[in-house]
Amino acid sequence: MNLEKVVFGFFIVLAATLNFGFFIGEIDNPAHHHIYELFAAVVVNLIATILKLGDRTQIGAVHLSTSLVADLQLIAAAMVWGYAAHVAQTGMTPEVTTSIVSLSGGALFANVISVVILIAETIMQRR
């Protein structure tokens, strides 16, 4: 068993599950989406991106691109949250929450693509 591949797979799957945990719930209800879960999703996605930097294969490039998309969307979601809560003083209205959760949904889709690629790569690997 290759420990590097275990850690790599762990962070890819953890990024997807944390993002799913934040995403699930009523899209416009702020009580269903916790800021610490979004923070954890951002941090784990960034770690997964860093782990993908060393791979120089074509599949590695696709892994990196899906990770960058997820990072961009989750960071944008965090910025929208921060702006609404601390700059605009509007708080977490249903409209703001919908925007944040929608951005998280895009990141979740990128995470799912990354997990599917990981599974396909694992199945195609020969001993």
Mean of pLDDT values over 45-72: 91
Q: What is the dihedral of CA 117, 44, 73, 78, to 10 degrees?
A: 170
Mean of pLDDT values over 17-39: 94
Q: Which two tokens stand for residue 41?
A: 């999703």
pLDDT at residue 54 in the model = 78
Are the CB atoms for 98 and 80 separated by under 8 Å? no
pLDDT at residue 110 in the model = 96
Per-residue confidence band for 127, with pLDDT thresholds at 50, 70 and 90:
low
**Structural domain boundaries enclosing 13:** 3-124
Q: Count structural domains, the chain.
A: 1
Q: Is the pLDDT at 120 greater than 80, yes or no?
A: yes
How many other β-carbons are positioned within 10 Å of the β-carbon of residue 111?
Answer: 30
Per-residue confidence band for 69, with pLDDT thresholds at 50, 70 and 90:
very high
Q: Is the pLDDT at 83 greater than 80, yes or no?
A: yes
